[in-house]
Structure 1
Amino acid sequence: MSTNLNTLFEDSKENDKESTKLPSQIRFEDKMEQEIPVLVEIINSAFDEMRNQVNNISPDFRNHLTKPNRMNEQVKGKLIEHYGDKIKSLRYNRFGLFLNDYVFLFKKFNNKGFPSNIRTGNSVMLSTKGKLNFQGEPEIIFIGFTVTHGYEDMRTIKAVKIVDEEVQWAVNLQGLAGDLRRKNTPTVIPPTGQSLVVKPKIQQQKKTG
């Protein structure tokens, strides 16, 4: 069940329903459970760093590529800091994260929320630097973000699986990361009869005189 690129996802609620998830999406969410919050944090941090850098550049020295280029540099640099040699250089001046039998490609999505100018299949993997340790062809997932006009604010961070230029599935990584954090946060259950309210400590003043 695929969705044509031209009709894709304005945060469709159906993507959040378990009953609509394809096996490949369920597998992705299971295998990447520990990494999804990390990827979201990296992209958010890269966005903040990009904004800080651009604010220090005089408007006279900026052009329409200043913000996209700084964002791409920040994402790549922070991924390398965290994942090291799992980041590989690819064709077309791109880079990918090779992890858990996936190749993750990072880019800004268009206003409709999907990647444009995509190249999938073996051509993406050719001429990589370093030996690839995959058996067969790895699964390609796009990790992308949408921003408001002028890169003022981050809107969404999503993972998209595309097969034959059609979207197979898409998932909101920000929402999923929040769910995973709540899932992995231990719940403290007090002993029977005790209150959950934490009483503030009263600081005693030293007597003088």
Structure 2
Amino acid sequence: MEFATSNESPEEPGTETSDDARTTAVRAAQTASAVEAAFAAPAGSSWSRVSPALTLYNRLALAGVLLPATVIAGAVAGFALGAAWAVAVVVPLLAIGVAGWLTAPRARASWGYAEGRTDFYLTCGVVIRQLVVVPYGRMQVVDVTANLLEQALGIATVRLRTAATTADARIPGLSLDEATRLRDRLAARSETFSTGL
């Protein structure tokens, strides 16, 4: 007596078939590709990334704000309302601190800039990605700033100011040498492409 055999396993209710899973994977890949294309560097160039020291800077800045806030808020809530309220205040603040600490490398890696032929490109953001394009001719002021912590870590922020105050852009976490070179290049290009605005 012969029995018919099949390699196909019966589908369980509520599970995706392999075709559905494949289609979902293809759509996800297309969406990811479209997102990357939307935030890509200009043709013929690639993103220049900022210094890894920005990760440490962000972590130290976060700790400098959250630790005192957590201690003060916890103490006030504890004395005024009791231990349960102190815990209710401290735990969310600590969770925010841990999340910020863990995501600092990814946030640093999201920063990038590229110098196009007529425009300067800047990208940043993890949850909300952003791409800013600033024409060289619209730049009015290019400055370099570094607070005490940035100076100690050997980094600086380059800020571009344009005629439209909403279009100002900044590139944090550049090494001091690169910040100076970028400032000089952008200042020279803004004069070359000046539109008189």
Higher share in helix: 2
Q: Which has the higher contact order (CA 8 A, sep 6+)?
A: 1
- TM-score where L is the length of structure 2: 0.25
- TM-score where L is the length of structure 1: 0.24
Structure with the greater alpha carbon radius of gyration:
2
